[in-house]
A and B are shown apart, each in its own frame.
Chain A
Amino acid sequence: IAGITQAPTSQILAAGRRMTLRCTQDMRHNAMYWYRQDLGLGLRLIHYSNTAGTTGKGEVPDGYSVSRANTDDFPLTLASAVPSQTSVYFCASRPSWSDTQYFGPGTRLTVL
């Protein structure tokens, strides 16, 4: 069982380019989340999904979009990357019977 995986591990991207960060879980968790983690700011919620077919905005959603076509996958898309989106991005999932979120290993994104 892999748990929750993210790809790529790291990426350097030119400003203005489109980028999709991938997140896949094999635990059949209903809820999934995307966070960004910046030094001195902690983890901040970007978007979330309570179940396949639904999504919601978190604390810092601007410049990001998500989709949840099925239970396992929750991709995060940056339509036109800007340097302020340089960060470490974590995907997480949560089963319906618990409040505990399980985090992926993260994607380190640098926008130049």
Chain B
Amino acid sequence: KNQVEQSPQSLIILEGKNCTLQCNYTVSPFSNLRWYKQDTGRGPVSLTIMTFSENTKSNGRYTATLDADTKQSSLHITASQLSDSASYICVVSRGGADGLTFGKGTHLIIQP
């Protein structure tokens, strides 16, 4: 069964600290993996997209990694800011219009 598991379910850290969110998947075949950020009351917004051959990709203070052999990805946030408070959703694509499998997300809270 195609599944995407994210951990932790929720996380609280102090402003300025770093954190890492995890995503494990069993989706097959694999096309790509995305991390989305969803602010409270808003729709998800794409942060990064990674294909099979990519190990790491950065978008500002966000760095995503992918290990296609172990089917694991991580999202590292450096020097967190209050605006990083959001849910982060891992999405794995098999390709095709209905080929996305969504994780349930990690709810991140940055405290001042």
| Interface, chain A (partner B; CB < 8 A) | 31, 33, 40-45, 48, 50, 56, 58-59, 90, 92, 99-106
Contacts and interface: CB of A to CB of B under 8 A. Distances in A.
Contact of A104 (B43, B46, B49, B103): B43
Contacts of A59: 98
Interface string B77-112: 000000000000100010001101011110000000
B7 interface: no
Interface of B: 31-32, 34, 41-46, 49, 89, 93, 97-98, 100, 102-105
Residue with the greatest number of chain A CB neighbours at <10 A, chosen from B41, B100, B105? B100
A58 B43 CA distance: 19
Contact of A42 (B41, B42, B105): B105
Contacts of B42: 105-106
Given A40-B104, A100-B34, A56 B97 contact: yes
Nearest to B93: A99
A48 B100 CA distance: 12
Contacts, number: 46
Give 8 closest A-B pairs by Cβ, nearest first: A103-B43, A42-B104, A43-B102, A42-B102, A100-B46, A103-B44, A48-B97, A50-B97
B43 to A, nearest CB: 3
A92 to B, nearest CB: 7
A90 B102 CA distance: 14
Contacts of B103: 42
Contacts of B31: 99
A47 B43 CA distance: 17
Contact of A105 (B43, B102, B105): B43
B102 A31 contact: no
A100 B43 CA distance: 13
Contact of A90 (B43, B100, B105): B43
Contact of A41 (B34, B89, B98, B104): B104
Contacts of B89: 42-43
6 contacts: A43-B102, A44-B102, A56-B98, A58-B98, A59-B98, A105-B43
